[in-house]
């Protein structure tokens, strides 16, 4: 076998392994296929000190396979961007929900997450019949809901929602970095990096900060 043939063989084996992995992420989609349109739901931004929480809701076509789609946390930024474009191109419908830092402070992060998810479902152009959720059951929705622990690594639909939510929120935080450059939001996305924590201690919070998250860091400055 020539080196070229070896390379082609390895490439083919890698592709087959990836297709097998993707097939393993369709267990829930297959199980609930007879129930109607299936929508994956996930959120990004429950943990940061600043910025909104964002939820994605994605309905993929039956038998859709998007190579390398996975939990957004396991992907590089470049891969997420490429997958985002492919998801937006191939999806039957995509909905995005955004709840601000002010609302997070008002109703708490869990309730804000639920609200972002309800918004995302409400913005879909078609009504789903089954919701595959990453770990939670969302109050106030009439559809059948299937909460799946670590669902973004077990369901293609949830993984797609994870990528859409992550890319959307990252782009928002990168844009907001221009308004609040001292906090380095473009690189930390609102999470507590060393540079972000140092800026908080030096300058106090900006309007993007979640006051309920940073009281112990900034003391009276955050009140």
24-54: pLDDT as tens digits: 999 999 999 999 999 999 999 999 999 999 9
With contact defined as beta carbons under 8 Å apart, do 214 and 205 qualify?
yes
pLDDT bracket for residue 193 (50, 70, 90): very high
Cα(180)–Cα(174) distance, rounded to whole angstroms? 10
* Placement of tokens 């997958």 in the chain: 83
Is 43 assigned to a binding site?
A: yes
The closest alpha carbon to 84, from 168, 192, 190, belongs to: 168
Is 71 assigned to a binding site?
A: no
Residue 219: the pLDDT is 56
Residue 221: the pLDDT is 44
Is 85 assigned to a binding site?
A: no
CA distances from 163 to 2, 23, 138, 218 (A): 39, 18, 20, 32
Q: Is the pLDDT of residue 93 over 70?
A: yes
Q: How remote is the C-alpha of 143 from its chain's centroid? A: 21
Q: Is the pLDDT of residue 206 over 80?
A: yes
User: In order of start, what are the domains of the chain with their CATH numbers?
Assistant: 3-170 (3.30.420.10)
Which residues lie below 8 Å from residue 33, measured CB to CB, with a gap of 6+? 62
Statement: the pTM of the whole predicted model exceeds 0.85 = yes
Q: Is the pLDDT of residue 94 over 80?
A: yes
* Placement of tokens 């973004």 in the chain: 152
Q: Is the pLDDT of residue 185 over 50?
A: yes
pLDDT bracket for residue 141 (50, 70, 90): very high
Q: How many residues does the chain have?
A: 223
Cα(114)–Cα(53) distance, rounded to whole angstroms? 10
Q: Which residues pair with 101 in a beta bridge?
A: none
Q: Is the pLDDT of residue 10 over 60?
A: yes
């Amino acid at each position: 076998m020539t080196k070229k043939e070896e390379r082609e063989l390895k490439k083919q084996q890698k592709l087959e392994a990836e297709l097998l992995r993707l097939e393993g992420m369709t267990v829930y989609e297959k199980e609930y296929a007879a129930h109607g349109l299936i929508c994956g739901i996930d959120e990004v931004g429950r943990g940061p000190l600043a910025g909104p929480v964002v939820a994605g809701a994605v309905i993929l076509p039956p038998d859709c396979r998007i190579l390398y789609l996975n939990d957004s946390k396991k992907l590089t930024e470049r891969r997420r961007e490429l997958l985002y474009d492919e998801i937006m191109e191939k999806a039957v419908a995509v909905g995005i929900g955004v709840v601000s830092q002010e609302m997070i402070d008002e109703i708490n992060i869990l309730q804000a997450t639920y609200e972002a998810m309800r918004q995302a479902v409400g913005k879909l152009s078609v009504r789903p019949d089954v919701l595959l959720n990453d770990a939670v059951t969302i109050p106030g929705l009439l559809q059948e809901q299937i909460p799946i622990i670590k669902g973004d690594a077990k369901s293609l639909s949830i993984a797609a929602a994870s990528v859409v939510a992550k890319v959307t929120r990252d782009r928002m935080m990168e844009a907001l970095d221009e308004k609040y450059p001292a906090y380095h939001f473009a690189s930390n996305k609102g999470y507590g990096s060393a540079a972000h924590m140092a800026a908080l201690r030096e300058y106090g919070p900006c309007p993007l900060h979640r006051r309920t998250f940073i009281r112990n860091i900034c003391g009276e400055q955050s009140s």
